[in-house]
Amino acid sequence: MKLLRFLHKWLGILMAPLLVMWFVTGFFMIFSGFPRVEKEQAFALLDPIGSIDSLPSTGELIDWYQTHTVTGANPTTLSLKREEGRAVLSLSGEQGVVLMDLRSQKPIVDIPPTLEELTEKTLRLTGLSPARVDTLHQLNQWLPFASRREDLPFIKVSVEDPKSTTLYFSGKSGQLLQETNQSNRWMAYFGAIPHWIYFWPIRQDVELWKGIFVVLGIIGCVMIISGIIVGVVWTVKSRRSSRRRWSPFSKRSGKWLYWHHISGLLFGLIVLTWMFSGWMSLDSLPRWLTGPSPRSELYTIRDGGAITGDEMMHFEPILAQHPNAKQVTYSHYMGRPYYRLEESAKPATYLVYNDDGSLAQLALSQEEVVSYLNDLDLAIEVKEASVLHHYKGDYLPHPRGKRKPPLPVLDLLTAEGTTLYIALDEPYLSVQNRATRLNNWAYQKLHSLKFVWSYEHPTLWLCIMLFLLTGGAIVSVTGLVLGWRALKRALKHRSNNHQRRREVQQG
């Protein structure tokens, strides 16, 4: 018990400020995350594609892709959009992405944006001209990720609007990288930035950032477990005494200890759960517990293969029927070519050509998918198959997430114990087995209460989260006060001892 009390006391002095911070910022995290460019903002910078000159043949596009990557590489996706007044063709594959100006059929290289181009983009996004333009040569708080170094320098555009909007563009290509305003900046300062430790000098170093979370997670779990054990032992002894109280402390003699003990009994497991699941957000359970992860080949099912030279792509009829289309993408899914049509920030539409040349919504059948899987050289043995029209335990959206996994979905159980969730109306694949489910429990379910009931009853989920956060905050704040008092006593005791030694030496 002495060791447990020692661990809880001194680790608590270290961790209590962090726990208070995590619980307080958790309230803000429920309502707002870290700012990012939303789809509607990105699409505001695109023009409707409109009519286009005829596309090069598939064979010519493949040759062009290989010329600008490596010989033998085939693209898997072809995308068409109109940006800055020109039709842009994007070819994507295992060797990367290559952009072509459709009119000149020459590769598009990154060109630093001009002030006129930045002004036009700012007008489209905010309706106002830039009030100030700055050049930034290093990552900052709103672009803290190491992957963004390739876009340096950043062009920061400030706008004098009621929202105090700030836009960040790539100084190499002019791409919109970030949009912040007074509201989402303040929400991030009180929420995502401290909660996720998104301070850019730390976040830019991914390994350091992850290491800090893992170390703090381990220390926090040891501190909380030791506190739960000590608290339960105190309660058992107090209940066995003549007073038969839940706590040996009283509100008069030690109110902070009393409330820390009582709140710890009520919410200690919740605090432990959130500490552990926060750690698991950047780590995984050991393999000896979870078993192997799903075969990596299973994730390639969604890709549908490379574009071949004998394929015919028909963009013109789609553009004629959808004059407001801002992006059209051609690829394969479950062996079928399809077109992804995006007209605005609304969800995309997935189209296929029927045998008679008419356009229809993508709608695969169970038989088509199973037949396609059987033809693959992946040794997939289907044991059970059914079509889901509702969410289930390991196929769920986040309770407050904007992006929801598509329905209906084909639920396939394989002989190796892996479940494949294959969407029938759009390209989407989720692969689940024991390892992914246990890791999902360790993070998503414990940290965000990601269950079927939380999706079906979002108000109930919100009330429960606020209640649990309040309980965790009480445990943490009372612990912080006790830790501060204990630290002051320890420092005072050390100072007194030092003073006595000096007096003895002088005497």
| Residue pLDDT, tens place only, 68-84 | 888 888 888 999 998 87
CA proximity to 19, closest of 282, 217, 294: 217
pLDDT one-digit tens code per residue, 100-117: 888 888 888 888 999 999
Asked if residues 280 and 272 have their Cβ atoms less than 8 Å apart, the reply is no
At residue 21, the pLDDT reads 97
489 burial level (CB within 10 Å; 0-12, 13-18, 19+): exposed
At residue 253, the pLDDT reads 67
pLDDT one-digit tens code per residue, 427-483: 999 999 999 999 999 999 999 999 999 999 999 999 999 999 999 999 999 999 999
Evaluate the omega torsion of the peptide bond into residue 35 and state whether it is cis, within 30 degrees of 0.
no
At residue 5, the pLDDT reads 85
Asked if residues 160 and 128 have their Cβ atoms less than 8 Å apart, the reply is yes
Q: If phi over 0 gives left and psi between -120 and 50 gives alpha, with beta otherwise, what is residue 392?
A: beta
Q: How confident is the model at residue 138 (pLDDT cuts 50, 70, 90)?
A: very high
C-alpha span between 424 and 454 (Å, rounded) = 25
Asked if residues 154 and 177 have their Cβ atoms less than 8 Å apart, the reply is yes
**Amino acid identity for residue 204 in this structure:** Q
Asked if residues 18 and 478 have their Cβ atoms less than 8 Å apart, the reply is no
Ranges of H-type helices in 162-306: 182-190, 192-195, 200-203, 206-240, 251-280, 287-290
pLDDT one-digit tens code per residue, 224-243: 999 999 999 888 887 777 67
HSE (CB half, 13 Å, CA atoms) of 137? 0
C-alpha span between 90 and 372 (Å, rounded) = 28
Mean pLDDT computed over 488-504: 75
Helix axes 2-31, 206-240, angle to 10 degrees: 120
C-alpha span between 438 and 442 (Å, rounded) = 6
Three-state DSSP state, 359: strand
pTM value surpassing 0.75: yes
Evaluate the omega torsion of the peptide bond into residue 153 and state whether it is cis, within 30 degrees of 0.
yes
60 phi/psi in degrees, rounded to 5? -65, -40
At residue 242, the pLDDT reads 64
Q: How confident is the model at residue 216 (pLDDT cuts 50, 70, 90)?
A: very high
Mean pLDDT, rounded, of the chain: 89
404 phi/psi in degrees, rounded to 5? -110, 135
C-alpha span between 143 and 177 (Å, rounded) = 8
C-alpha span between 297 and 32 (Å, rounded) = 36
C-alpha span between 396 and 474 (Å, rounded) = 31
Tokens describing residue 17? 């400020």
> Is 60 exceeded by the pLDDT of residue 507?
no
Three-state DSSP state, 217: helix
At residue 506, the pLDDT reads 67
Three-state DSSP state, 419: strand
Tokens describing residue 76? 């898997």
Q: How confident is the model at residue 2 (pLDDT cuts 50, 70, 90)?
A: confident
